[in-house]
Chains A and B, each alone.
Chain A
Amino acid sequence: MPASTVRSSPDRIELMGVAVAKPTTDYVKAPPAIKLSEASDIVGSAPRVAEHLTYERILAASTEPQNWLTYYGTYNGQRYSALEQITTENVRGLRPAWVFQCGSYGLHAGSSTYAFEAAPLIVGGVMYLSGWDGWVWALDAKTGQCLWQYNHAIPFDVSLCCGNVNRGVAVAKGKVFVVTLNAHVVALDAATGEMVWDVTNGDVRAAESATVAPLVVKNLVIVGSSGGEFGVRGHLDAFDIDTGKRVWRTYTIPKPGEPGSQTWPSYSPAWARGGGNTWITGTYDPELNLLYWGTGNPAPDFDGEIRQGDNLYTDSVIAVDVDSGQIRWHYQFTPHDLWDYDSNMEMILFEQDGRKLLAHFDKNGYFFVLDPTNGALVRVTPFADRITWGEISPTGAVTPLVYPDKEGEEVHFWPGPAGGKEWCHAAYSPRTNMFYVPTQDVGACVTRRRREFQESIPYWGASVTVDSADAVGQVKAFHAATGEEAWRWNWHLPISASVLATAGDLVFCGTPSGEFNAFDARTGKLLWQFQTGSGHHSSPTTYRIDGQQYIAVPVGWGGWIEGYAPGMAGGPHGDALFAFALPG
């Protein structure tokens, strides 16, 4: 029928030349809204294995190596496991037992650079794991079955320097603790994934964020802050794990009149924008009752003229009384930093000849050993191959040599802003008395470019181009007694993933190109390698279930690639967790 001949009426309309019934204004009722996981195979609950996870058990975590109860495995930060089923003799038989994947939904912050950076925790056969963009999962650690998932809604416009990442959770007393990119601290029911409490711990309007894995000590959950590239004021906070009530906050940049304030200009608000964030988990000595927490770069990163002085407590380790939050002592690794040399990275507690010691591999390329009772320097030696920014004498005297000084004048130095070692962690084996360190040999060109401070806008004070060529990496072993290099494994790309050491005399570490490797801890010989399909920028852990040892490693290349491996900016992305085990 020609359209022109269709006769309209109150209850009919013309559509493609045909008169059809006009849609009623009575809407069909849509099915009820559901949580996304209800349309999945996710179980919805986990065994109540975390209810009896107490501070005392975490304190003695080394006595239950079948679990990985806290971020570093134990409070001392050694990333060492006494599990010995997988050995130098049989590691060549290691194969994937299962793989967990989530994938990326919709639009989110850093959607092209998100990374899987977590350290999986294992409690009684359940793996607790965090991902990018507010994801938390409980998995059956034997099968990979997702038991529950939680997702915190994160604004896609949060200010992030270094990608959409999260480094892990803490678990205790039936709860899972995680921070979010919009600077919340959240406690979840470990059996259901339901939120128990939620505290806002930072100001996203000021570019504060949070990426750190929380640390449970006593009845406190301790979290650090992020945002140093945006001129925030760093802080460390402790919350009651039952209620979420803040117990203490310690700022890492003193206000005028407070101890350390003399290291900031008295004539400007530089201290208020001073950085010094606490974005990597600290270690803890229960006998001394001290936390050892690293602090980040001062802000602006490269323009020191407007923040003259040493800029305490940036680029330092602060020894913090866990009950009060008071800083008992500090050691600053790079006074008046002009190279973006954060010192957040692990503070490994170990002993030599009965003496307590603290080991730290700094971005500035030097390996420091301190006395953890008072912060006194015991030894400092270089661990990076090329160090041109300056020199540190055996007594700890720092002499800057190359730095962005004059506006518009480019300088080049090693290590670049990602450091001789990034945040990714070293490990220590008491069996070999060696440290195992992921290293980066990458330089950078930096030109000072002053800018005015504005909240939420990057505050670097320079133009930065990190070398994409002539950039390599290693896994290096150092004798703990002397600081001398024992062996190294060379790779054609910077190594920016954490190391795991085991009593099987193995060292595990991944590469930006996707290989996951096992080395002989005593010789450095590569014994096993598996291509996981995407680069490594996470912290592998190990555990045992029903007599079977597993090695778990999150894989997903991303984060601050332009800082630590710009030559791999086009590397394949991913977001999988591999669990490896021996056959049978």
Chain B
Amino acid sequence: MTSDAAARSAALSELGLDRQNKAALGRLLASGNIGQATEEPGGRMKAEVRIPLDELVWDPATLILPHGGDVDIVLYNDDSNTHCALLPSNGEGRWIWLPIHSRGEVSINLDGPGCYWYSSPIGNDEGRGLLGAIVVLGEVPPDARLDRPEQPRPD
């Protein structure tokens, strides 16, 4: 059993679970890279996400936002197959077609802390690796917090 992230990553590689059709059928979900959005003056955020050649994985597979709000994402399909992207956003999810070797832009709004998913909803891209997470950090606004003394959270 692995005991830390580095060992986990090494084990996935050694077992062949970080690639398509190596040890199993598809790439193990949530085994991709982690990246962070950058913040512009005023709080708007920017990020880039790629689909590398033959990996069927978002890169980063987990995109971290420092807080809720608007984020502009540039998507690159570096793969030799066509994919698409469905991203969460308040109002409705945003969907974009990503032809081979294409670049697309999408803006989304997420309003609070938590984990959101995004994917390529064609074929079984989702099951084979193109299911990623957008993680919004931070707290809710002070006026939305309960009127009570500070409470313990899990260690």
Contacts and interface: CB of A to CB of B under 8 A. Distances in A.
Contact of B95 (A33, A158, A457): A33
Contact of A27 (B88, B101, B149): B101
Contacts of A251: 147
A446 B22 CA distance: 47
A31 B104 contact: yes
Contacts of A232: 146
B112 interface: yes
B105 A33 contact: yes
Contacts of B107: 33
A156 interface: yes
A105 B86 CA distance: 10
B110 interface: yes
A206 B146 contact: yes
Interface in A6-48: 23-24, 27-37, 39
Nearest to A272: B148
Contacts of B103: 27-30
A153 B90 contact: yes
Contact of B147 (A39, A200, A233): A233
B97 to A, nearest CB: 5
Interface in B113-155: 113-117, 119, 121, 126, 131, 136, 139-141, 143-149, 151-154
B119 A30 contact: no
A107 interface: yes
A51 interface: no
Given A107-B131, A200-B111, A205 B96 contact: no
B139 to A, nearest CB: 6
B97 A204 contact: no
B94 interface: yes
B139 A151 contact: no
B61 interface: no
A34 B110 contact: no
Interface residues of A, number: 58
Contacts of A24: 101
Contact of A201 (B75, B76, B117, B144): B144
A269 to B, nearest CB: 6
Contact of A28 (B100, B119, B151): B100
Interface footprint category on B? 35 or more
Interface stretch (A378-386, A448-456, A546-554): A448-456
A153 B86 CA distance: 12
Contacts of B112: 155, 182, 184, 200, 204
A269 B89 CA distance: 38
Given A30-B98, A152-B90, A157-B115, A206 B105 contact: no
Contact of A204 (B106, B113, B116, B149): B113
7 contacts: A30-B104, A36-B94, A150-B91, A203-B146, A205-B139, A208-B146, A272-B146
Contact of A33 (B96, B111, B115, B131): B96
B99 interface: yes
A456 B92 contact: no
A456 B140 contact: no
A180 to B, nearest CB: 9
A218 interface: no
A28 B102 contact: yes
A206 B111 CA distance: 16
